[in-house]
Amino acid sequence: MSLDEHDKNLNLDPITDAPGAHPVGTGVGAALGGAAAGAAAGALGGPLGAAAGAVVGAVAGGLGGKAVAEAINPTAEEAYWREQYTREPYYDANRSYDDYAPAYRLGLYGRSTYTGTFDDAQSDLAVHWDSRKERSTLSWPEAEAASRAAWARVDEQLSPRTLSREIADNDDVIDTLNELLESCRDGEYGFTECAEHVKAQDLKTLLLRHADECRGAAAELSAQIRQLGGKPEEGGTASGAMHRGWVSVRGTLSGYTDLAMLDECERGEDAAKARYRNALKENLPPAIRTLVERQAQGVQRNHDQVKALRDALKTAP
């Protein structure tokens, strides 16, 4: 179902205009999410098993679509973003809320229409942008961050702890912060490794600055972990160490080109973004959530800057 059709089928309350239980949301969640997963699992038992698995999976998948449709109030989301948008890292002072609002709506409706992640749906959302941008002057690359933010906010609100209003216990919070701490150290080591091999001095300076930012974020997390009575983890992740090893291998094979190093920096920041997204699905105490959200915005900025530089190098003569 297209996003346009989804908009037309919102089940609005006749008095308040608030969204109700959207049949469309349930149908899409069942058809695209649960049925596919159920059929895949049931296929182990042959054709009959696949058919039964699809039916059972459709019920589970439908709950996902229904959860989005019922739990998220578009009016409340509109009010939130109208108040929040100027504080977002992608905000441009030359743009008004009317520029960003359609992007937020696209992210919201995309999340209730598609299964999977924002990255899975991104190409479809990009196609829809031109027909749904209303009066916005943003291109899709400029609107993407706002749509992603709206999508992520829905994910946050639909996390089990958020729905139950259960604050994560102290040990869980420490574990979450330690995972982010390891990610920050991965970033520090990765940016430093790449900075050693780039040839352009301005790139070297930028990557070393990002390494310092990761070091500062790690110090903040370590202090918070100690404040909670925990012990900060030492070093980074195993996957981060493997990635740094691959940086050296790729650098040797490619001659340590600036483009190759930027590719690897972006790969590392993609992993960091995923870890922060997962952390924000937890119902963290308010002060800690504020810290994690701020650091997540920094990761997104680093990623976007590295990606822009890499893309510029790719198109350079």
Please give the average per-residue pLDDT across 98-120, as a whole number: 89
Q: What is the mean pLDDT of residues 131-144?
A: 94
The residues near 311 (Cβ < 8 Å, ≥ 6 apart) are none
Q: What's the mean per-residue pLDDT of the chain?
A: 75
Instruction: Annotate the chain with DSSP letters as a single string.
Output: --HHHHHHT--B-TTT--B---HHHHHHIIIIIIHHHHHHHHGGGHHHHHHHHHHHHHHHHHHHHHHHHHH--HHHHHHHHHHHGGGSTT--TT--HHHHHHHHHHHHHHHHH--S-HHHHHHHHHHHHHHH-TT----HHHHHHHHHHHHHHHHHHTSHHHHHTPPPPHHHHHHHHHHHHHHHHHHHHHHHHHHHH---HHHHHHHHHHHHHHHHHHHHHHHHHHHTT--PPPS--HHHHHHHHHHHHHHHHHTS-HHHHHHHHHHHHHHHHHHHHHHHTS---HHHHHHHHHHHHHHHHHHHHHHHHHHHHHH--
Q: Look at residue 215 and tell me whether its pLDDT is greater than 50.
A: yes
Angle subtended at Cα 294 by Cα 296 and Cα 149, rounded to the nearest 5 degrees: 55
Sequence ranges of the domains in the chain? 77-158, 168-315
Q: How far apart are CA 36 and CA 58, in angstroms?
A: 8
Nearest to 131 by CA among 96, 106, 95, 104: 106
Note if the pTM is more than 0.85. no
- Tell me how far apart the alpha carbons of residues 115 and 176 are, in angstroms, rounded to a whole number: 25
Q: How confident is the model at residue 5 (pLDDT cuts 50, 70, 90)?
A: very low
The pair of three-digit structure tokens given for residue 194, joined into one six-digit string: 């790449």
pLDDT of 43 > 80? The answer is no
More confident residue, 243 or 271: 271
Torsion, CA 128, CA 131, CA 135, CA 138, rounded to 10: 40
pLDDT for 281: 83
pLDDT computed for residue 218 by the predictor: 94
C-alpha gyration radius of the chain: 22
**Number of Cβ within a 10 Å radius of residue 189:** 21
CATH architecture of 168-315: Up-down Bundle (1.20)
pLDDT digits (tens, 9 = 90+) for 217-252: 999 999 999 999 999 988 655 544 554 444 444 445
Buried b (16+ CB within 10 A) or exposed e, 36-54: bbbbebbeeeeeeebeebb
pLDDT at 274: 87
Which residues make beta-bridge pairs with 12? Answer: 19
Mean pLDDT of 9-25: 38
Residue 132 pLDDT > 80? yes
